[in-house]
Amino acid sequence: MEALPLLRWLALLSGFAEARLSTRISLHNPMARMAELLIEIGTEELPAGYIAPALASMTESLVVWLKKNHITASEPLTCGTPRRLTLCIPELNSMQDDVVEIHKGPNVKAAFDADGNPTKAALGFARGKGLDVSQLSQEDTPKGKVLCARIEKKGQPTCELLNDFLPEWTRNIPFPKKMRWGRNRHPFARPIHWIVAVFEGQPLSYEVEGVIADNTSFGHRFLKPGKFTVRDFKDYRDQLAQHLVTVDPLERIEIIRKELTVLAEEVGGFIKDDAELLHTVAHLVELPVPLRGQFDAGYLKLPVELLEITMKYHQKYFPVWETESKLLPYFVTVSNMPVVEGSSIIPGNQRVLKARLEDARFFYEEDQKRSLIDFTESLKGVVFQKDLGTLHEKVERSVGLMERLKDFSSGTSADFLEQVKRAIRLCKADLNTQMVFEFPELQGIIGGYYAQKDEGEAIATAIKEHYRPAFAGDRVPSTELGAFVALVDKLDTIVACIGVGLIPTGSEDPYALRRHAMGIIQILIEKNIAVTLDHLAEVGIAQLGDKAKLKPEDIRQHVLDLFRQRLKTMLSNEGYEYDVIDAVLATRMISFKDVQAKTSALSDLKQQDYFASLAVAFRRVVSILEGKTYSGLNPDLFEKPAETNLLKKVRSIEEDVNHLLASGDYSKALARIVEIKPEVDAFFDDVMVNVEDEAVRDNRKALLSVIAGLFSQIADFSKIVVKKG
């Protein structure tokens, strides 16, 4: 409910009639015509990541304002470069729509006395609307006739409204970081140097921080920086092109994409698809000029991930690949200027990359003068979290978790267990290396390379992949060894952080517990590790020991809730309906793959025409039992044939259903359970469960408990939403 202004509350409490806005009608202004609006905010170079969000926000806020002010407009267009944010509305009404507001006032009986003279209520209502009582009309309502005030508001010229609105609109463009520049009162991402604001072919009249809006823009900062006058959006784009600026980001992206292919193929390679890098570099330039450089082939002896990270994330270069896993000694950079004779653009980029790679080679060679195990001792001095101790303690907890989970590994040999424990103890060692200190993106990966020398390929691969899956869509570890290292590392992080009260709330999740939970779910499903969620929580709490600040039952509940939330998200993304998911998650989870199979089976069943009536019957069973289980079923207490028939039908399918449930074939199990529906319907038609005779009542509930035992292993039907009718 919308909060009422204080004065309105006082008026209502005092018993005064309050006018209510009944209707607002927009009328086309006959003086209006459609015209184009063009706005360009020229700045110093904006960070690449600022541009697209700023343009989206500019569009959204302007559309909201136009709608609120009854100004008809077409869909806005946006484009931009590091030096300009541009928005165009091809068709914008030159006049605000005329608006007719009809306000309802006091009841006619209260508005006039016995002699027909207006009372204070009528006089006050008319005065408040700027009208005479004679100008008021009357309208029938469910509460009787009331006075009405019809107020016509003429639309104002759009240009006048824009001049008032656009300064504040400009200042309120959101950016990740803003600063006050010079003597400006309001912060902005970068200093504003010019503003183009043209409506109906004429410049608007407003200013922002001393910059006056007009119809003058500027070209490429270095190649053709001169100013030019703008008439409309087409003229704006054409003149920018003449001034060596490609203002449309999509056009810049396409230019870069095509040239990347050509430059890579010229040296026998290709460029991998990388939408994020492509969009980033497109927002770093106004005139995209892809250029190919090269580096010493000797650097190819370094780990390929190191070369890729150095080029992509540090330099914003596109690596040139020979195969999916092998690089060529080339890269492509995107310049803001073309190469001319004597230009140092390519040699300059090559020198910068060489310096970065030389540093990387030095760190790589220095680190390898020691074994990876030598770096583990330093983990005792690295704090993981103040209440949970050091990384060394975290590693030892993870080793203990593996001991408790070893029975769920298909490789139950002592050698396999020792391999996993060895990999766990080494997986964080590279955090103390010079390489990871300089290139933190390589943690885990570089440890895998260092482990190859002394530990063998299996342990090296497990270390390299133990952070997987690190993001949505990432792969799980490729080996069972790596899967268990990743599993216990993530499980310890979840249980330990929750154990000391670091529970994710809202957007706050500093230790990425939600991501770790989803990672565990993916690992258990894809590697088919049949460990229950209850057991995961149990071993995690036991291993945490006296580090825990919360009670074990509270930790357990928070851990279960976290995994259920992640499962619900995963299943929702797969297209399952929320009530089906809730029904399955309310049952005991044998494994995450098991949950997936139950959800799929129940979802398929829900598509059948008879499901609604089946769900109603099973919901009734659950409702009568009220969460309790009744035993001691005695057929001698049956009084109606419907009871005998139902038990006979249940016994005929019970063994088969239990066998199917044990084998995880939930679709066939549900199909068999459906067979009892006629007998269940007949039971509820003919039998009253809650009778006065306690023995008969409990016996009938015991019969329903047998039925519930069939389907309650798959879903809680009380969670299923059945549409009326």
HEC string of 364-375 equals HHHHCCCCHHHH
Whole-angstrom distance, CA of residue 430 vs CA of residue 119: 86
CA distances (Å), origin 581, targets 520, 577, 679: 19, 6, 27
Whole-angstrom distance, CA of residue 523 vs CA of residue 489: 12
Task: Give residue-wise pLDDT tens across range 498-510.
Answer: 999 999 988 889 8
Instruction: Please tell me whether residues 277 and 345 are part of one structural domain.
Output: yes
Q: Is 416 inside a domain boundary?
A: yes
Q: Among positive and negative, which fits the CA dihedral 368, 369, 373, 376?
A: negative
Please count the structural domains in the chain. 4
Domain endpoint, select from 573, 598, 624: 573
Rg (CA), the chain: 36
Encoded amino acid at 172, one letter:
N
Q: Is 579 inside a domain boundary?
A: no
Q: Is 127 inside a domain boundary?
A: no
Domain endpoint, select from 367, 395, 427: 367
Instruction: Please tell me whether residues 484 and 627 are part of one structural domain.
Output: no
Instruction: Please tell me whether residues 563 and 429 are part of one structural domain.
Output: yes
Whole-angstrom distance, CA of residue 333 vs CA of residue 346: 8
Whole-angstrom distance, CA of residue 184 vs CA of residue 711: 69
Q: Is 11 inside a domain boundary?
A: no
Q: Among positive and negative, which fits the CA dihedral 455, 398, 474, 442?
A: negative
Instruction: Please tell me whether residues 349 and 416 are part of one structural domain.
Output: no
Structure tokens given for 296: 């010493």
DSSP string for 497-560: HHHTT---BTTB-TT-HHHHHHHHHHHHHHTT----HHHHHHHHHHHHGGG--S-HHHHHHHHH
The candidate with the shortest Cα–Cα distance to 428, out of 441, 442, 447, is 447
**Longest C-alpha distance within the chain, in Å?**
108
Whole-angstrom distance, CA of residue 297 vs CA of residue 331: 12
The candidate with the shortest Cα–Cα distance to 306, out of 265, 264, 363, is 363
Q: Is 151 inside a domain boundary?
A: no
pLDDT of residue 99: 82
Work out the burial of residue 369: count CB atoms within 10 Å of its CB; fewer than 13 is exposed, 13-18 middle, 19 or more buried. exposed
First to last CA, the chain: 31
Task: Give residue-wise pLDDT tens across range 253-263.
Answer: 999 999 999 99
Instruction: Please tell me whether residues 172 and 60 are part of one structural domain.
Output: yes
pTM: 0.76
Q: Is 4 inside a domain boundary?
A: no
pLDDT of residue 44: 96
Helix extents (H) in 270-336:
275-282, 304-309
- Residue 624: φ, ψ to 5°: -65, -40
Contact 588, 724 (CB under 8 A): no
- pLDDT lower than 50: segments of the chain: 1-19
pLDDT of residue 31: 58
Structure tokens given for 336: 């803001």
Q: What is the CATH number of the domain that holds 44?
A: 3.30.70
Task: Give residue-wise pLDDT tens across range 25-43.
Answer: 555 555 568 999 999 999 9
Structure tokens given for 17: 């009639």
Instruction: Please tell me whether residues 318 and 453 are part of one structural domain.
Output: no
Instruction: Please tell me whether residues 484 and 535 are part of one structural domain.
Output: yes
Instruction: Please tell me whether residues 612 and 672 are part of one structural domain.
Output: yes
Domain endpoint, select from 184, 209, 239: 239
Instruction: Please tell me whether residues 621 and 518 are part of one structural domain.
Output: no
Q: Is 591 inside a domain boundary?
A: no
Instruction: Please tell me whether residues 219 and 259 are part of one structural domain.
Output: no
Buried b (16+ CB within 10 A) or exposed e, 605-619: bbeeeebeebbebbb
pLDDT of residue 412: 58
Q: What is the CATH number of the domain that holds 637?
A: 1.10.730.10
Q: By residue range, what is the domain housing residue 642?
A: 606-719
Phi-psi group of 185: left, alpha or beta (phi > 0 → left; psi -120 to 50 → alpha; rest → beta):
alpha
Instruction: Quote the percentage of the chain above a pLDDT of 70.
Output: 94
pLDDT of residue 630: 87
Instruction: Please tell me whether residues 268 and 213 are part of one structural domain.
Output: no
Residues 6 or more apart whose CB falls under 8 angstroms from that of 143 comprise: 107
Q: Is 232 inside a domain boundary?
A: yes
Q: Kindly state the helix (H) or strand (E) to which residue 208 belongs, with its residue range.
A: strand 207-208
pLDDT of residue 282: 97
Instruction: Please tell me whether residues 309 and 361 are part of one structural domain.
Output: yes
